[in-house]
Amino acid sequence: MTTPLFDVVAMTEHWMHAHPDTVACRVERRRHAETLTYGRLDELITLAATRLARAGVTAGTRAAVLVPPGRELVAVILALLRLRAVPVLIDPGLGARAIGACLDQAAPGAFIAVPRAHLARVVLGWARDSVHTTVTLATSTLWFARTHHRSEPALKPEAGDPALIVFTSGSTGPPKGVPYRHRHLAGQTGLLAHVGAFEPGATLYSTFLPFAVAAPSMGCAAVIPQLDLRHPERTDPAAMARSITAHGVRALFAAPALLDRLARHCLRHGLVLHGVETVLTAGAPLPFPVLRRAQRCLPAHAGVRSVYGATECLLVSMADAADLTATAEATARGAGTCLGGVLPGNRVRVIRITDEPIPRWSDDLLAPPGTVGEITVAGPAVGDPYLARPYDSALARIDDHGEPVHRMGDLGRQDEQGRLWFAGRKSERVRTAGGELYTDHVEPVADAVPGVRRSALVGVGPPGDQHPVLCVECEPGTSRRERRETVERVRALGGITHVLAHPGFPMDVRHASKICRPLLARWAAGKLGREER
């Protein structure tokens, strides 16, 4: 009998029964890596499912999970799916206020967490009115003592059943809960097959936890790295390189900022990651200079692919190294960044820019072909409306005769070949008296200037009368004189009058690839105010 693609537990159990001695995942610890075979993972899931069922977790129970990345987290998530409960996945690296907001939205019936998270829930009142079941991961033996007891067979989900709840990064506002049904997981699984990293027998090193959890269900060994949960961009690149080499990693997933950090480390120490065949990056467009640095520390046959998507619809399009190389010159002239071809099953349309809700679809919404507008997506992986946030859902969704269309909040266009191009976030466009400027039409031009590590366009003043300011972060180790010269070279490009050197961009603590532009805009406003005085 064929296993439905949306039945993640059944897909994982296929590998457990067919290859019990094969490595399912490796968990990086401070001093060593812990290896779990499929047989051992089966034991852990069984033990976790038994304990959770005895605690009162049943089919349909929303269960919040606050557990650091590791074997415990993998076992708990798959155990909940086996029980047909609904995992509510919350990033432990979020601040207390954001975690509380997530729990208020999800209203979970069960709370599964490490002791300090339970203490915080009691002290801060998280989900006080909804939680009726609590389970503590107090010691390493709680889930992982050997047992011969089998829990009840996994319940078979229906395509429309709730599967899990995930939260957006919160980089453009408070985190928003996105409910996924099992049919959405089927859509994601089908799209993952097109990116080329999830091949049976491969070892995947992923800094994106959902990919690490999904990998064993597809026959891949997942390496779960030690990450700085509060500051993922500070993850040690030396440790990453050692782990990738030691475990024979064939596929690597990292956000562009972290990939750049790893590439710079490898180039500085003359390292080549010989075993890597595929690199996936997402979370932000992949800048061409980062691509070039990454290629220099990879074997010649390795493929680098930039995947575009969002929490609400994880995989939308993909650009490979050939796409990015062929379009690099246009990007450096201000055409935006190529996001590649739309993945099969997705329908991408570009609509005119508006900040207002759009209840129903009409072809009158479409932007003229080739012009910049807001990117929308309809397809099999588009999740349900946000939890308990009707206004945000109204802003993000359009009803197209019963089919949900998700507004990405990103600006872009499609070219004659059907490729998608990124112009910037809609909320980050600079609205001057003379028209609008888009971040990705300006920043790549400045980034191509020697001495510039990265740049950020921000607006100072009220929308409609903003002054554009281009902030420039220079390459590490440059002197004050070199920074002044770099700023002058950027200013000489024309177009932006105010160019300011910044010592180091503030990054969003919830998203390692995204600059905290509101904070940068306030800094720029202060600098301009002092200069005018």
CA nearest 498: which of 533, 469, 520?
A: 469
Domains of the chain, earliest start first: 39-180 (3.40.50.980), 344-428 (2.30.38.10), 429-532 (3.30.300.30)
Burial class for 115, CB neighbours closer than 10 Å (0-12, 13-18, 19+): exposed
Q: Are 255 and 284 in contact (CB under 8 A)?
A: yes
For residues 73 and 34, is the Cβ–Cβ distance under 8 A?
no
Give the pLDDT of the chain (533 residues) as one tens digit per residue: 333 345 777 888 889 999 999 999 998 877 778 899 999 999 999 999 999 999 999 999 999 999 888 888 888 999 999 999 999 998 877 888 989 999 999 999 999 998 999 999 999 999 999 999 999 875 444 443 333 334 445 567 788 889 999 998 766 667 899 999 988 888 887 787 778 778 888 899 988 877 888 888 888 899 988 776 556 656 789 999 999 999 999 999 988 988 999 999 999 999 999 999 999 998 888 999 999 999 999 999 999 999 999 989 889 999 999 999 999 999 999 999 999 999 999 999 999 999 999 999 999 999 999 999 999 999 988 999 999 999 999 999 999 999 999 999 999 999 999 999 999 999 999 999 999 999 999 999 999 999 999 999 999 999 999 999 999 999 988 899 999 999 999 999 988 989 999 998 887 655 555 788 999 999 999 988 765 54
Q: Could you give the 3-state DSSP secondary structure of residue 26?
A: strand
Exposed/middle/buried for 187, CB within 10 Å: 0-12, 13-18, 19+? buried
Strands 373-378 and 403-414: antiparallel
Question: 177 forms bridges with which residues in the sheet?
Answer: 167
- Residue 143 main-chain phi, psi, to 5 deg: -100, -20
Phi-psi region of 87 (alpha: psi -120 to 50; beta: other; left: phi over 0): beta
369 vs 297: CA distance, rounded Å: 39
Say what the pTM is. Answer: 0.90
SS3 112: strand
